[in-house]
Structure 1
Amino acid sequence: MDKFLLQQQVLNQLAEDLLQAEQAVRVAHETATHEENIAENKYDTLGLEAAYLATGQARRAAAIRQAMTHWRQFRPRPYDASKGIQLGALVCLVDSDDKQHEIFLGPDGGSMKLGSGVQVISGEAPLARAMLGKCEGDEVAIQVGAPVPQQFEVLRVD
């Protein structure tokens, strides 16, 4: 699978997310400033709540813009077996049920599932941290919320 194509898919998804976040900011701002939502007493908080929502959505939009910058600057390198799995690797893991998982390790802000079935995760994700430095055939274990760690085997790395 072409890593450049995966990177473009991530950027396209982030662009869609940004459009939605910006639209949510506009709607929340309009609600917060609409004349019908002016507080008439201390219990009338619709305008205040909408203002908080607009602020949160604006922060989300800023985070998406920052993620897009990181992804535009990102240059995945070819896999080097002497270094093991690094940021930019496309990894195929197999779990204990023999189910395969395609994972693309990228910069912060792009965690998502692409239409091609590839799961994109940040290098800071627990699974990514567990995979760093591993090679084909190595075992990877993570414990997230379950009493028993999840076990994977690195099947292939590109």
Structure 2
Amino acid sequence: MNKQQLLDQLLCRLQGELSTTQDAVNQAHDNAVHEQSKPENQYDTLALESAYLAHGQAVRAADLQRQVVILKHLKLPACSADSAVVVGALVQLRDALSGILQWLWLLPVAGGIDLRFDDMGITTITPEAPLGQKLLGNYIDDEIRLSLGSNKKCFHIVAVY
């Protein structure tokens, strides 16, 4: 698996989302200051709502920009079969109950994004996620137990790349 190609794919997705978000910021800002948005009475809140929307979209755009910068400067670790799970590692897990295999990519930002590589699905996860916290520092064949409320899961680390 080529982590650099995966990173390029992820950056492309984030930059596309950033572009869309910037367009939404501009549209919401234009709506907030447009002459037709002037309140006609005290209950007319269209301009105020548009301003709140523009602010929220601007915060999202700033967060996306931060994620892009972090990922552009990320040093991808070279992991081997005897490596511990670190930020930047690709980890294959087997669900102990169902036997289902899944690939996770532990990154400092941009969790929850599904990527594809050679017909394999890979999901990004951050160290702040409960499973991400549990993975850090573990090795192949280690068992990861996760409790989310009454839901209990058990995974085995199959590969670290």
Instruction: Return closer, same or farther for 1:130/1:122 CA change in 2, 3 Å cut-off.
Output: same
CA RMSD of aligned residues (A): 1.5
Give the Cα separation in 2 of the matches to 1:7 and 1:94: 24
Task: Report what 1:156 is aligned to.
Answer: 159
Give the Cα separation in 2 of the matches to 1:148 and 1:38: 51
Q: Which runs of 5+ in 2 are unaligned?
A: none
Aligned residue for 2:128, secondary structure, equals coil
**Matched ranges for 1:54-69 at <5 A:** 54-69=54-69
Deviation at 1:64, TM superposition (A): 0.3
Number of residues paired by the alignment? Answer: 157
TM-score, structure 1 as length reference = 0.93
Q: Which amino acid aligns with 2:74?
A: F
Deviation at 1:111, TM superposition (A): 3.6
Which residue, 137, 141, 145 being the options, matches 2:141? Answer: 137
- 1:117-138 deviation per Cα after TM superposition (whole angstroms, max 9, x unaligned): 1001112221111001111111
Deviation at 1:82, TM superposition (A): 5.9
In the TM superposition, structure 1's runs of 4+ consecutive aligned residues that sit over 6 Å from their partners are none
Q: Is the 8 A contact 1:63 1:109 kept in 2?
A: no
Give the Cα separation in 1 of the matches to 2:116 and 2:59: 27
Task: Report what 2:34 is aligned to.
Answer: 34
Task: Report what 1:97 is aligned to.
Answer: 98
Give the Cα separation in 2 of the matches to 1:147 and 1:93: 21
Identity score, percent: 35
Q: Is the 8 A contact 2:81 2:159 kept in 1?
A: no
Which residue, 101, 119, 126 being the options, matches 1:122? Answer: 126
Give the Cα separation in 2 of the matches to 1:77 and 1:7: 12
